[in-house]
Amino acid sequence: MRLARTVALVAHLVVVWLAAVTLVPRLGADTRAVWLARFARQTLGILGVRLVRRGARGPVDGPVLVVANHVSWLDVYALQAWRGGRSVAKREVCDWPVAGAIVRGFGTFFIVRGCCRDAARVKDTVAAALRAGERVVVFPEGTTTDGAAVGRFYAALLQAAVDAGVPVQPVALRYLASDGARDPAAAFVGDMSFVDSLRQVLGRRALAAELTWGPLLQPAGETRRTLAATSHRFIATALCDVPDLPRPIRLPQAA
């Protein structure tokens, strides 16, 4: 099973890489988002990761800043599989072989972690994309956790939603085994290498990425800190598995 998935993943990434370096940069934002969502869903399907949605509202169309907790490199695929959207990644990813070309082609924003000046630059760039009608995904923790709880949120990038006047939508993300218990296989933490993480994911017969979508938070009259605090509170509560949340809805796999 692991070997078959690895071969399928390599073939898939070759196709995505070719599209990212030749076709995708010429597409408009809306079409690019559609392609990105399709590729993300196909990637998760190859890895054996199914998507499960919870929450009263679900993902929305139009410009929105999606704010999520950060567990794994799988998070971006899980979030982009619903509506596409650009994301923010650490600067080092830009130079990764193959993966760097793919994320550059799909319009990822790169940030130098720990640099306030660069955070301000990325905030302005994200705000411009939001004003242009795009969706953007950010992880305010700035690092990954094991998914058992949510870490501190850094509010800097939420200023982009305030500046652009677009809503923020928090999303709680966790990975579950077939019995519904939290599965640590997806967690990409500590000194773990990407190869080790990928091996763990490929070795799971059943892994679900559960996303609990929160309400839209309007920025009018709010500050980035209050938006970050409200988002953090929603995600932390959702990760505690509040019993009155709507029943899960499974996303059909892309062809």
Question: What does the pLDDT profile of the chain (255 residues) look like in tens digits?
Answer: 788 898 999 999 999 999 999 999 899 989 999 999 999 999 999 999 999 998 877 888 889 999 999 999 999 999 999 888 999 988 888 888 788 889 888 999 999 887 888 899 999 999 999 999 999 999 999 888 888 889 999 999 999 999 999 999 999 999 999 888 888 889 988 788 888 888 899 888 889 999 999 999 999 999 999 999 999 999 999 998 644 444 443 444 443
Distance between CA atoms of 157 and 140, rounded to whole angstroms? 7
| H/E stretch holding 4 | helix 2-22
Neighbours of 182 (CB within 10 A): 18
Location of structure tokens 């990954």: 144
Residue the block writes with tokens 């950010």: 138
- Tokens 């953090």 found at: 232
Q: What are the φ and ψ backbone dihedral angles of 206, each rounded to 5 degrees?
A: -140, 120
Determine the Cα–Cα distance for residues 135 and 65; give it in Å rounded to an integer: 6
Q: Residue 153 burial by CB count (10 A; 0-12/13-18/19+): exposed, middle or buried?
A: buried
